[in-house]
Amino acid sequence: MNAVPPLPPVRPASFGPPASAGPLAPPGAPPPPGPSATPSPTPPPWTGEASVFARPARLAVFISGGGRTLLNIAARIRDGLLAAEIAVVVASGESAGTQRARDAGMVVEVHPGRMNIENLEDLIRRHRIDLVVLAGYLKLLPIPPSLVGRAVNIHPALLPEFAGPGMHGHHVHEAVLKAGKSVSGCTVHFCDEQFDTGQIIHQRRCPVMPGDTPETLAARVFEQELLAYPEALTQLLADRARITSQSH
């Protein structure tokens, strides 16, 4: 197999403040105090709950395509801006993304088709996962009670608009342009048993420019995705840490 070239760097753009409320760390801010983002070779036994004070949060990142969002998260971890580690990359099939993940030294599991609850819970237990992160994963993931509030997704539009089955990739941006919208963006949300209906966590906006095509709009939205997902993950881990601290 020919080597897959690394993705070129994308320079994030800014268009106003994030659309969600709440104190989120601005891009480029120093990392919050807390555990190191260096992967732990011997994590504590999995108990069914996150343990954010004992170690970096362990992520299972699910992909279906080229892995751009995965590599963005990995870069934030490497730079010390996200107190987490990618414990496993789960793919719906072999792709450029799985090769890039392996080239980066990540553990990769390929699960074709829709994953059932038993296999998902087994994967979470084996890899001691704290948070499931969907990063361009196109399959509908079952959400057992143990995973409620611990699985997130990013959608390339401002939910609740332009959502549901089939609304992914260029289909979303074509719909935004057809609707004549002047603003688009991306949404980070919790996962539930349907596509794109979980509670919204964080949004970022960008303009729709005259003469935009689905490709140019997609590139502008993705610049916001590069910022929005790390911001939302940072806030989620900080909130979980605060709740855990208050409960002890």
* Ordered DSSP codes for 123-171: HHHHHT-SEEEESS--SPPP--GGGTTSEEEEESS-TTSS-STT--THH
- What letters, b where the CB count within 10 A reaches 16 and e where it falls short, cover 160-181? eebbeeebbeeebbebbbeeeb
163 in Cβ contact with 195 (< 8 Å): yes
Catalytic status, residue 155: yes
Give the Cα separation of 147 and 192 in Å (integer): 9
The DSSP letter of residue 110 is: E
* Other Cβ atoms closer than 10 A to 212: 17
CB 43 within 8 A of CB 234: no
Annotated catalytic residue within 111, 127, 155, 173 = 155
Q: Any idea which residues carry the catalytic annotation?
A: 155
